[in-house]
C-alpha cells in the first residue's frame, strides 16, 4: 500500500489522524441456508487470507475491528486476522448486516476516540456506498480503480480523515488505497 497509508502518527498538537479500513466479506457460497448463515466458498477462503496479508503489508496497526454477525463476514475475519501481526479487539456487530449508509455512518460515529485505525467487515452495497460517501478526494489512482471494479468480494478500501469519530460524515476523508484480489 502507499506510503500515505503506512505512515502513522500525528505531530504534537495537531488534530488526530485516523483511518477506516473497509473490507467486504470474501466470496460466499449459496447452499440452502438463510442469507445470514451463508458460508464462504473455496475461492472466498483463499481471498480472505490474501486480504489479511494485504492488510498486514499495509503496516496499519488496527485498534478495533467491527464485524457483521453473518457467517461469511465472521469467516472472512477469522481467516484474515491470522495474517496480521497483531489481533485488534473485535466486536461482532449485528447492525452491520444489511445496514444502510446512514446506519453505517452512525456506527462509525459511536467509535471511541482512543481508536485511531478501525476495520469494518461488512457487506455490499453498504461497504461500497460508505467508501464512496466518505471520500472527498483520493490519492493516486485509488478512486479510478474503485470506480472501475466496483467493490468486489474481499476488496479493501482505506479512508483517512482528521478529527473525531463523531465528525465522520459525507466527504470527510481521503481514499488512500483501494485493493481487490482479482482486479
Give the model's pLDDT for residue 8. 41
Q: Does the domain formed by 16-179 have CATH 3.40.50.1240?
A: yes
By CB neighbour count within 10 A (0-12 exposed, 13-18 middle, 19+ buried), where does 90 fall? middle
Quick check: 6 pLDDT over 60? Answer: no
**Per-residue pLDDT reduced to its tens digit, 33-78:** 999 999 999 999 999 999 999 999 999 999 999 999 999 999 999 9
pTM for this one? 0.91
- Per-residue pLDDT at 7 exceeds 50: no
Q: In the structure, what pLDDT confidence band is assigned to residue 183 with cuts at 50, 70 and 90?
A: confident
Cell numbers linked to 169:
460524515
pLDDT at residue 1 greater than cutoff 90: no
Q: Which cell numbers hold the place of 61?
A: 496497526
Query: What's residue 64's pLDDT?
Result: 98
Sheet with 117-122, edge to edge strand ranges: 89-93, 64-68, 117-122, 17-24, 156-162, 173-179, 135-138
CA atoms within 13 A on the CB side of 44: 22
CA gap 98, 12 in Å, rounded: 40
Would you kindly state where each structural domain of the chain is located, as residue ranges?
16-179
Q: What is the pLDDT of residues 137-149, one digit of tens each?
A: 999 999 999 999 9
Half-sphere exposure of 39 (CA within 13 A, CB side): 6
Where does the pLDDT of residue 14 fall: very low under 50, low under 70, confident under 90, or very high at 90 and above? very low
User: pLDDT tens digits, residue range 17-35?
Assistant: 999 999 999 999 999 999 9
Q: What does the pLDDT look like over 78-133, one tens digit per residue?
A: 999 999 999 999 999 999 999 999 999 999 999 999 999 999 999 999 999 999 99
Residue 168 CB partners (closer than 8 Å, separation 6+): 20, 105, 108, 109, 134, 161
Amino acid at each position: 500500500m502507499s506510503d500515505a497509508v503506512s505512515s502513522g502518527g500525528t505531530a504534537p498538537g495537531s488534530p488526530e489522524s485516523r483511518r477506516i479500513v473497509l473490507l467486504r466479506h470474501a466470496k460466499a457460497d449459496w447452499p440452502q441456508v438463510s442469507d445470514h448463515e451463508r458460508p464462504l466458498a473455496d475461492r472466498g477462503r483463499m481471498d480472505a487470507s490474501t486480504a489479511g496479508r494485504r492488510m498486514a503489508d499495509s503496516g496499519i496497526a488496527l485498534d478495533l475491528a467491527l464485524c457483521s454477525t453473518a457467517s461469511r463476514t465472521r469467516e472472512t475475519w477469522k481467516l484474515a486476522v491470522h495474517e496480521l501481526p497483531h489481533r485488534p479487539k473485535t466486536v461482532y456487530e449485528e447492525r452491520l448486516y444489511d445496514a444502510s449508509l446512514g446506519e453505517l455512518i452512525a456506527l462509525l460515529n459511536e467509535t471511541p476516540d482512543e481508536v485511531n485505525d478501525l476495520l469494518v467487515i461488512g457487506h455490499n452495497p453498504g461497504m461500497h456506498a460508505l467508501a464512496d460517501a466518505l471520500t472527498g478526494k483520493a490519492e493516486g489512482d485509488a478512486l479510478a480503480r474503485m470506480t472501475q471494479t466496483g467493490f468486489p468480494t474481499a476488496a479493501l478500501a482505506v479512508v483517512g480523515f482528521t478529527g473525531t469519530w463523531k465528525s465522520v460524515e459525507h466527504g470527510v476523508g481521503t481514499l488512500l488505497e483501494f485493493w481487490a484480489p482479482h482486479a
